[in-house]
Chains A and B, each alone.
Chain A
Amino acid sequence: MKREIKTPITNDDINSLQVGDMIYISGKIYCGRDAVLPKICRLIDEEKLGDIDLVGSVIFHTAVSPAGVGPTSSNKVEIEGSFAKLSEAGVRLHLGKGAIGKETIAKLDEFNSVFAITPPVTALLGNNTISQRLIAFPELGMEAFYELEVKDYPCIIAAAHNKSIY
């Protein structure tokens, strides 16, 4: 079943999602990967998020560069290690690729978040990206924290409610 999900994502949206669901995400999403996600987690700890509104948000594990966007491996230490903190702070959907661990899947469930995967289809995603805006840590270049406005980003739910495809 294919369905559309718009950000901000509600708890009801998450409750209705099941592993294997094919969804299309539209709205504003955040982008971050290895370098910046630990820094976002520190901002959460220090209560210094400022204008970053994580409640109901999507974080796409990608760099943002002139080459476009596409999923990086979510099981890299600094990315997977951020799932619990970000979910607790309100991130509802983590978007990337690759198998994640059982403990992470349990943490997602604890905070009512899900993990979705998408193939590396940069040329297609480019057509579905409306705008991009640098949000924080510009010194990280392509690994800075970005916000994208997107329409119909295709993905598949890989982990939800303590179940997964792995």
Chain B
Amino acid sequence: MNDRIIEIVSKGVVTSSSSFLPDKKAVYERVIAKETNSQAKWTLETICENARVAERNQSPLCDDTGVPHLVLDVGTNCVVTGDMLESIKEGVRQGLRKLPGRPMAVMGDDAHRIDQSLGLNDDPGALDAAPILIRSIEEDKIRLHIMMFGGGPEIRSKTYRVFHKHNVDTVIDEIVSWATEGTKLLGCTPGMIAVGIGRSHYEATSMMIQAMVDGKFDKQSEMEKNITKRVNDAGTGALGLGGSTSVLATFLKVGSQRASGVRIVCMRPCCCIEPRIASVEL
């Protein structure tokens, strides 16, 4: 295995789990400045103070340190080897031990892992990453995006078909409905809404994950702004306390579409510390 890659990935896991990116810090500053609900304002300020402490200590932002999800960008003239993939997995394992991640790998065979009857592995590094998503880029680089997916948003996420009736508003209306319901139940608001639209459930989920990688809080499309505004208009607010900010942004990626009256939509209402992400070059 490649020690250099292991070290880079290990550090990336810690960074993703303990730091906000600059555009996220900036959007929090903006929403704190305009929030008029005192409890919501206190919540937003406390989330930011927690982020400052976590970054300083290189410690977890949240005790649910999440399940690692990896996106590997591969340049046109670059080569990915099996050894490189194994080194990435080892880097994740070492990063989870260093963080430390929450020891939440469920032990046992298929049935045991479903009912959790054999308990949990004490080793934070025993938590496997989700299957790696690979995509090509034009740069001559290999870049790994490391994201940690918390459990709360997974409960509220939804991948389902929408009959679009040849009107984009039909699909957006459905996304807003799902996102509004999801953020209300989530608790850890304000986060962002990640959305992928594709031809299959796999593709829609893949688009959603890529949206989390590529999305920027300070660069929003008109569709993204529209979804954000309408979810915020519902008034759930930070931590469900009301106020003006239920979500900070929407990250939307629309893939190729099927010649059909159906669109497959994947919506993930992310929590206030997500996307927990770090991008490293290998």
Contact = CB atoms under 8 A, between A and B. Distances in A.
Nearest to B51: A123
B39 A63 contact: no
Interface in A96-117: 96-99, 117
A142 B239 contact: no
A163 interface: no
A122 interface: yes
Contacts of A72: 64, 151-152
B240 A141 contact: no
Given A35-B116, A154-B46, A165-B242, A98 B101 contact: no
B120 A142 contact: yes
Interface residues of A, number: 40
Contact of B63 (A20, A63, A99): A63
B47 A73 contact: no
Given A22-B42, A73-B186, A74-B187, A166 B59 contact: no
A9 B57 CA distance: 33
A63 B102 contact: yes
A65 B188 contact: no
A98 B59 contact: no
A15 interface: no
What interface size band does chain B fall in?
Answer: 35 or more
Nearest to B57: A123
Contacts of B275: none
Given A72-B152, A121-B50, A20 B39 contact: yes
Contacts of B54: 122-123
A36 B43 CA distance: 29
Contact of A68 (B39, B51, B63, B120): B63
Given A35-B116, A126-B59, A142-B104, A70 B64 contact: yes
Nearest to A74: B187
Interface string B52-64: 0110010111111
Interface of B: 39, 42-43, 46-47, 49-51, 53-54, 57, 59-65, 99-104, 116, 119-120, 122, 124, 151-152, 155, 184-188, 238-242, 271-273
Given A122-B63, A165-B242, 18 more contacts: A63-B63, A67-B65, A72-B152, A74-B187, A75-B185, A97-B188, A117-B240, A119-B46, A119-B47, A120-B188, A121-B50, A122-B54, A122-B60, A123-B50, A123-B54, A127-B53, A165-B241, A166-B184
